[in-house]
């Protein structure tokens, strides 16, 4: 069985892959599909065909002991594509796309999980009709603070792999001069897509609190014992908090489709001094 994971960037989707890879019967791949490799003029249906072909290729490689492309050439153990090293206050990406080689697996002896964030979210209309898709979300305060401090396109308020197949989003982002409001539009786009296509949605906070058992259950897997998971505490510069604070009213007034209450948002803002 093949299952897909998508989610809001910086919401713990890579950690989910690491948790799943702690299981003998699961192989979870981190961003193995390079969106730039999809032909330039491809429409959504062509992109779906490409993704299906890639997934079949991953299975073939895994079952025949062949190398295949992966979002981190270091293997399946990555739990965070962004490291601790900073440049001008921006944390740098440590994941490097490349080939990986796994021990040969017998067909039917494993469940394949493939994780992509923006690309899968933009193509949910097509993908959700073909695959079981689970989405991971996180409190917007934490997501936006992360986006403001990591060296990814979303730091600039753009999401290229999503914009390519979500032309309305691309137009809205191009017309918005404020970085934080572009980021806010991106966050809301992800949440709307998950709601629109009726995805099973898991909260990062619940995955941590359950030591991954919430994730196991959602994917139909029996619970296993894991080490306790604890969120990392980070400090943010005053100018970062000020930028986030400029949309405080919008955050408190937003509809998160039942996943986060106004008090959830307010409590996290208070913890940040906002």
H or E element, residue 154: none
Q: Which of 187, 49, 66 is nearest to 117 (CA)?
A: 187
| Predicted pLDDT at 233 | 83
pLDDT in tens, 246-270: 999 999 999 999 999 999 999 999 9
In DSSP notation, 173-219 reads HHH---HHHHHHHHHHHHHHHHHHTT-EEEEHHHHHHTTTHHHHHHT
Q: How many domains does the chain have?
A: 1
Range of the domain at 203: 2-271
Q: Is 40 exposed, middle or buried (0-12, 13-18, 19+ CB in 10 A)?
A: exposed
How many Å apart are CA 173 and CA 254, to the nearest integer? 19
pLDDT in tens, 151-202: 999 999 999 999 999 999 999 999 999 999 999 999 999 999 999 999 999 9
Q: Where are the beta strands (DSSP E) in the chain?
A: 2-7, 26-30, 68-70, 82-87, 90-93, 98-100, 111-115, 132-137, 200-203
CATH number, domain with residue 143 = 3.40.50
């Amino acid at each position: 069985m093949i299952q897909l994971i998508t989610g809001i960037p910086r919401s713990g989707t890579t950690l989910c892959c690491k948790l799943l890879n702690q299981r003998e019967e699961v192989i979870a791949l981190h961003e193995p599909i390079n969106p730039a490799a999809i032909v330039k003029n491809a429409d959504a249906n062509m992109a779906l065909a490409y993704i299906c072909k890639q997934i079949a290729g991953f299975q073939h490689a895994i079952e025949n002991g062949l190398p295949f492309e992966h979002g981190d050439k270091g293997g399946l153990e990555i739990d965070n594509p962004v490291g601790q090293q900073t440049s001008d206050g921006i944390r740098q990406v440590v994941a490097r796309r490349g080939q990986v080689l796994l021990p040969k697996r017998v067909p039917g002896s494993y469940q394949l999980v493939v994780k992509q964030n923006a690309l899968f979210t933009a193509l949910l209309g097509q993908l959700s009709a073909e695959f079981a898709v689970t989405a991971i979300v996180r409190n917007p305060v934490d997501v936006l603070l992360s986006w403001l401090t990591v060296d990814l396109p979303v730091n600039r308020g753009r999401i290229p792999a999503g914009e390519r197949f979500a032309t309305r989003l691309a137009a809205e982002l191009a017309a918005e001069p404020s970085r934080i409001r572009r980021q806010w539009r991106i966050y809301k786009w992800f949440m709307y897509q998950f709601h629109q296509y009726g995805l099973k949605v898991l909260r990062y906070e619940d995955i941590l609190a359950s030591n991954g058992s919430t994730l196991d259950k959602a994917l139909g897997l029996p619970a296993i014992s894991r080490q306790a998971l604890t969120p990392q505490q980070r400090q943010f510069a005053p100018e970062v908090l000020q930028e986030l604070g400029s949309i405080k009213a919008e955050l408190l007034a937003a509809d998160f489709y039942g996943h986060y209450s106004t008090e959830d948002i307010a409590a996290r803002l208070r913890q940040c001094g906002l």
